[in-house]
Amino acid sequence: MDSLLITGGNRLKGTISVNGSKNAALPIMAASILTEGETVLKGVPQLEDIRHLSALLEKLGVNVSRDEKGGLHLKVEDEMNCHAEYELVRKMRASVCVMGPLLAKRRRAQVSLPGGCNIGDRPVDLHIQGFQCLGAESDLVGGDIHLKAKKLKGTEMFLGGPFGSTVLGTANVLMAATLAEGTTVIESAACEPEVIDLANYLNACGARIVGQGTPRITVEGVKELHGCEHTVIPDRIEAGTFMMAAAITNGDVIINNCRLDHLMAVVDRLRAVGVNVERKGDGVQVSSSRRLEPVSVTTQPYPGFPTDLQAQIMALLCLADGNSIITEKIFPDRFVHVAELNRMGARLRKEGPTVIVEGVKNLVGAPVMASDLRASAALVVAGLVAKGKTKVSRVYHIDRGYERIEQRLATLGAEIQRVPE
């Protein structure tokens, strides 16, 4: 098991490019189960989560390979197996996305309840509710969700939950509805760019979907889908993480392949902090002054501030000149990183779904432990500016969502290396 060893204090400067979106690529990969012929995906990063889902798809009869240019090729070769087993699903929550395609194409699915990051309770009840609306029968046996349907029929449904719309739930039901008979209307659908990218991919495969990017998506069912070539959108969470890294080190970084329109809530808060964010070609230039203003941040469904950047902006606000307030409205328990940042000299106080951030003059390097993917990124961001050395253990968490992060940050001047435990 590896760790990241960071010597803080270096100002980041230079140019870095954002990879394709992990959260867009995973459901699109699962959607290949629906298609006849080959799908070629461009821009898919080489991450642990991508490898885990590739292994699961292989078990489900999908041939997965990469070409010499990095393109990901997927083609269904065997439709017999419909069981996504626990040993593969437990490693990654997005594995649950195979439910919709399996149910729609093979009329049955047996999927273990998913694993993933330790960020609080994330039930799949809305997924099941959507499948039932389409006419599926469901049961829970031995930790596996069993779904079956002789025929899926389009209908109107509401997919809102206690914390807003469900991104994976919308993706799952959307995929199932493409092959359902008739028209499906999904109300309170997730509006995230990753859902739009999935819908655009499915339309390129022959689906009839309109309304993606709005709370009301309409799907006209078709008889079959074919493979296609598709380029995955840039990863807005990776881009936001690099923005925080540039800002906290008083850096000056150009971030290419960055969709600014996907990050307007983040840009708004960064500018309020005193960070300069300017459009530059197909990306942005991020720089900051030495004084950071305190702000209030509330995570919300898109287009609000993303929960996947909450930990990273918390690291940045540790050095603001005053008290900031961060409220988590998506996963109220997503604060495991608070204790680790406090080990580095931060002054953070959790009160229910809110953390009070009392700004300090500097952070101090310390051995810290990653608890989930985005918390790992926050500890790396903090380590870049902390005095002395920071050792981030359990780096496998960060490998799930960031490709070779230590090498890429090193090109900007960071003193960071991967070391064995």
* Distance in angstroms between the alpha carbons of the first and the last residue of the chain: 6
Amino acid at 51: R
- Whether 245 and 12 have beta carbons less than 8 Å apart is answered as yes
Chain centroid to CA 7: how far?
28
Rounded CA-CA distance 165/173 in Å is 13
Nearest-angstrom CA–CA distance, 251 and 244: 10
Which of 387, 237, 267, 286 lies closest to 12 in space, CA to CA? 286
Identity of residue 392: V
Query: Token match 């509710």: residue?
Result: 129
- Cite the beta strand spans of 302-363 per DSSP E: 323-327, 347-351, 354-358
Q: Which single residue is written with the structure tokens 């310390």? A: 366
Question: Cα separation of 260 and 273, whole Å?
Answer: 18
Distance in angstroms (rounded) separating the CA atoms of residues 306 and 323? 21
Residues 6+ apart with CB under 8 A from 158: 187, 188
**In 122-168, at which residue ranges do the beta strands (DSSP E only) sit?**
137-141, 144-148, 156-158
117 is catalytic: yes
Kindly report the backbone phi and psi dihedral angles of residue 243, in degrees, each rounded to the nearest multiple of 5, phi listed first.
-60, -45
* E strands in 267-320: 275-280, 283-288, 296-298
Q: Cα separation of 180 and 104, whole Å?
A: 7
Residue tagged active-site, from 82, 97, 117, 191: 117
> At 322, which amino acid appears?
G
Helix (H) or strand (E) holding 72: strand 72-76
- Catalytic residue positions, numbered: 117
